[in-house]
Amino acid sequence: MITNVAILGCSGRMGRNLITAAVDDPHLTLVGGGVRPSSSFVNFDLGEMAGIGPIGILTTSTLAALNTADVLIDFTSVDASLANVQWCVEHQKAIVIGTTGFTESQIQQLQQAAQHIPLILAPNTSVGVNLLFKLLEITAKAIGDYTDIEISEAHHRFKQDAPSGTALKMGQVIADALGRNLKDCAVYGREGITAQRDQKTIGFATVRAGDIVGEHTVLFADLGERIELTHKASSRMTFALGAMRAAKWLALKPAGFYTMQDVLALTSQEY
Query: Could you tell me the residue ranges of all domains in the chain?
Result: 3-121+236-263, 127-233
Catalytic residue among 116, 134, 159, 253: 159
| Arithmetic mean of pLDDT, 14-28 | 96
Work out the pLDDT band at 168, boundaries 50, 70, 90.
Answer: very high
What are the Cα distances from residue 219, in Å, to 21, 147, 148, 201? Answer: 33, 9, 8, 13
- Inter-residue contact 229 to 218 (CB < 8 Å): yes
Q: Rounded to whole angstroms, how far apart are CA atoms 166 and 130?
A: 9
pLDDT band of residue 271 (cuts 50, 70, 90) is very low
Segment holding 4, helix H or strand E: strand 3-8
Distance CA 233, CA 229 (A): 14
Decide if 156 is catalytic: no
Confidence category of residue 267, pLDDT binned at 50, 70, 90: confident
Tell whether the model's pLDDT for residue 44 goes beyond 60.
yes
Q: Per the residue annotation, which of 93, 155, 216, 248 is the catalytic one?
A: 155
The predicted structure's pLDDT at residue 29: 97
Q: pLDDT at position 97, please? A: 97
Give the pLDDT score at 268: 58
What's the average model confidence in pLDDT over 112-116? 98
CATH number of 3-121+236-263: 3.40.50.720
SS3 per-residue string spanning 60-128 = ECCHHHHCCCCEEEECCCHHHHHHHHHHHHHHCCEEEECCCCCCHHHHHHHHHHCCCCEEEECCCCCHH
Residue 160 has pLDDT above 90, yes or no: no
| Identical fold between 3-121+236-263 and 127-233 | no
Q: Judge whether 159 counts as a catalytic residue.
A: yes
**CATH architecture of structural domain 127-233:** 2-Layer Sandwich (3.30)
**Is residue 269 scored above 70 in pLDDT?**
no
pLDDT category, 14, cuts 50, 70, 90? very high
Q: Compute the mean pLDDT over every residue in the chain, rounded to the nearest whole number.
A: 94
pLDDT at 123: 85
pLDDT tens readout for residues 184-223: 999 998 888 788 999 999 999 999 999 999 999 999 999 9
Spatial CA neighbour of 31 closest among 58, 62, 61:
58
